[in-house]
Amino acid sequence: MILFFFTTLLQVNGLLPAHAIYLGVIDMNLGQSRCEIEIKVFTNDLEDALTNEFQHRVPLIGKDLEPVKEQLTTYFTHHFNCSDPNRNYPLQWEGYQAEGDATWLRFSMPIPSEETSLTIRGDFLMELFPTQINVLKIKRDPDESPAAMARLTKNNPVYQLQLIHRH
């Protein structure tokens, strides 16, 4: 009881973070020519990241995110990146969905038609939260098990994927 009271007091006074875990989820669904990407983050952390990135407050909680889709896309272009040795693949905004205290952001991007090694970097929120972990899950078919999974951290924010197309 005393520990609960003390922890609550510290949180109310801003001395402890609102949540003790910093976790993001990246779901990538690979098609033949496009990749659908869904990124789930705590909305208040995303607000902090956008405020840091753009040097002004960007309120998100309880708001329609369509008016700030350019800022969101710019932020994630800087902190979520897919490339091969020849090019960087741009993100295209597809929408969002609020889910409690988190938000799912949806993007898509083209993927190469030839076999290649794809470098995936997912360091979003790590500039503010050094213990942030982004869990990457890659699927070829939404109904199948993941083809690959990775834990991206500040010390290791990159995953290499050997892209082999099925015919």
Per residue in 9-22, pLDDT (tens digit) is 344 444 545 557 89
Amino acid present at 58: V
Distance of CA 108 to the CA centre of its chain: 13
Region 114-130 average pLDDT: 94
Q: Which of 7-11, 37-41, 62-66, 115-119 has the lowest mean pLDDT?
A: 7-11
Region 49-74 average pLDDT: 94
Give the sign of the dihedral formed by CA 136, CA 141, CA 143, CA 145. Answer: negative
In this predicted structure, the answer to whether residue 5 has a pLDDT above a threshold of 50 is no
pLDDT score for 141: 83
Position with higher pLDDT, 85 vs 120:
120
Q: Is there a contact between 125 and 133 (Cβ–Cβ < 8 Å)?
A: no
Q: Is there a contact between 155 and 120 (Cβ–Cβ < 8 Å)?
A: no
Give the CA distances from residue 119 to residues 67, 88, 92, 97, 115, in Å, rounded to whole numbers and listed in that order.
Answer: 30, 9, 18, 27, 13
